Amino acid sequence: DGGITQSPKYLFRKEGQNVTLSCEQNLNHDAMYWYRQDPGQGLRLIYYSQIVNDFQKGDIAEGYSVSREKKESFPLTVTSAQKNPTAFYLCASSIGSWYGYTFGSGTRLTVV
């Protein structure tokens, strides 16, 4: 089945650590996106990539980094510079915004 897979489902980070969230899709979509969702809030765009080896900052990119070495993969690293990383992270892909986005099931990151 085609889809988009995020792992892990739950992730715990200690102060000062970098952690990487995985996002893989087998939909052959060119564009991929990372959003952050805080409790009771909408989605805020962190980074997006419309083609391999290229990506752009979204509205809240500070403290995050990404790579897009393969079409299928768009990992997000939450660095120690992100002071308030506890949130629900959602990855999405699309063939074009006219066709809607396909979302993964999310990773819940908690700072311990």
Which parts of this chain interact with other proteins (CB under 8 A)? 6, 33, 35, 40-43, 45, 48, 50, 56, 58-59, 88, 90, 92, 96-106, 108
Judged by CB, which is closer to other proteins: 12, or 17?
12
> Which of 78, 108, 81, 90 has the alpha carbon at shortest distance from 34?
90
Q: Which is nearer to other proteins, 37 or 79 (CB)?
A: 37
Q: What is the secondary structure of 62-106 as a DSSP string?
A: TTEEE--SBTTB--EEE-TT-S---EEEEEEEES-GGG--EE---
> Residue 73 Cβ, how far from other proteins at the closest point, in Å?
17
